[in-house]
Chains A and B, each alone.
Chain A
Amino acid sequence: MPSCKLLMNPMRTAKQGVQVNVGKFTDDYEAIVTALSMHESDMQTLGVVDGDKVRVRTEHGHADFVCEKAKVPEGMIFVPYGPPTCQLMGGDTGGTGMPTSKGWEVEVEPLDE
């Protein structure tokens, strides 16, 4: 199964900001925080299309996301902050009080459903 190393950047979206106030245990919120934006060529490398599931791994854990093609730089993936990204985040703050929450080197592999 092909896998590739990409740079992951969790971020915020306006839709997520609205949905937080509606409820975090809704299907809409779940869909928002598991939507992973990826460059078309990276999707081809992985052999996935829009709507396919992928597993993202860091040295701290793994989480599953749903791929969507987006206008993002090649080699980088973007996903809204949420419970799945908590699984990937390390606890080391380097003495700053906050863990590094962007620019993670991750391994992405397609999931067979």
Chain B
Amino acid sequence: MGGKVTCTLGEIKNRADFIIYWGGNPAECHPRHFTKYTLMQKSKFLPRGRKDRTMVLVDIRETKSVRAADIFLQVRPGKDFELLTILRALIKGQKVADEQIETTGLTRETLEDLVLRMKSAKFGAMFFGMGLSMTRGKHMNSAALLTLAAEMNAFTKFVAMPMRGHGNVTGADVVMRWQTGYPFGITYNRGYPRYNPGEFSTVDLLVRGDTDCAFIIGADPGATMPRPAIDHLARIPTIVLDPHVTHTSRLAKVHITTAPAGIAAPGTGYRMDEIPLPLRPAISSPYPSDEEVVRRINAAIDEHPDWRHAQPQMLTNQL
């Protein structure tokens, strides 16, 4: 089974009476999430607000989010996939051996209670963070959770949503998706978009040293990527558009200071439920926006039509 059964945060705010956070720490990383969408809001369907909602937190340690949870499930590190698979079996009434449950660090009673609560909910919502998607198993863990959410719809309404990180990462995925059909890891080197994570994704390209130039807009891979990727960025001509001095701008050959988007430059930000929100600048900036810089670079390239036809990575050209 593939895909994601999801909804907007507005629906969750108004309807979700059962919330699960899995491998995320919203109290620290998304501090308005509880108050604006998942726990504190009152609505027509949840008139008592927090009292009408149940929140379950699944994590490997007690984070600050535990204080906001009704139930905390401390899963053993690296056992998220196993726990999700066991829950998928239990909701369908399939047999699960005690020793399989023991590997997760939880008890049968706890899981049976959780399954009962999930099935009894009117509207369940599962949010998952990097504690699920960036540990061993990665996308398979996310797929297991999305499948559990989809399968729960045989019993009651259930949705799932990733807890996205920095500003507008959802926007990057959404725009690439409607432009190319793919969210990331895309190459245009044959003149049309092709997708293959591991081959065309940024970290892999940089670690293998496949790129001879890098153009980075509003990101700081110099402070987030593995060292071999950072070393390669320092070797090649790297051009950075960023309002701040960053680790990447320091290793770049060119750093163009731009106006911060949403503060001093207009634009569109995508919320984590993929709702586009127009951003009006609150202040003005002497610096150009990222968009303006890219437009001016494109205009400069247009003055050299011969550059447009150079496609050194095309297989046909190499042959």
Binding site for B on A (CB under 8 A): 7, 9, 11-14, 17, 23-25, 60-61, 71-73, 76, 78, 81-83, 86-87, 89-103
Contact = CB atoms under 8 A, between A and B. Distances in A.
26 contacts: A9-B60, A12-B25, A12-B28, A17-B28, A17-B29, A24-B220, A61-B227, A73-B60, A78-B61, A83-B223, A86-B226, A89-B227, A91-B204, A92-B207, A93-B204, A95-B197, A96-B138, A96-B197, A97-B184, A97-B185, A97-B202, A97-B204, A99-B203, A103-B77, A103-B78, A103-B136
Interface in B157-209: 165, 184-185, 197-198, 201-204, 207
Contact of A95 (B62, B134, B184, B198): B198
A93 B130 contact: no
A23 B244 contact: yes
B83 to A, nearest CB: 15
Given A13-B28, A24-B247, A97 B226 contact: no
A93 B224 contact: no
A101 B165 CA distance: 14
A93 B198 contact: yes
A107 B184 CA distance: 34
B28 A86 contact: no
Contact of A82 (B223, B226, B230): B223
A102 B133 CA distance: 9
Contacts of B136: 100, 103
B277 interface: no
A11 B165 CA distance: 12
B131 interface: yes
B29 A91 contact: no
Contacts of B230: 86
Contact of B29 (A14, A23, A96): A14
Contacts of B198: 93-97
A100 B138 contact: yes
Contacts of A92: 207
A104 to B, nearest CB: 10
Given A9-B60, A71-B62, A86-B226, A98 B77 contact: no
A91 B138 contact: no
Given A14-B31, A100-B134, A100-B138, A93 B78 contact: no
A93 B134 CA distance: 11
Contacts of A83: 222-223, 247
Nearest to A101: B134
A96 B139 contact: yes
B228 interface: yes
A98 B201 contact: yes
B285 to A, nearest CB: 15
Contacts of B41: none
Contacts of B246: 24
Contacts of B314: none
Contacts of B135: 100, 102-103
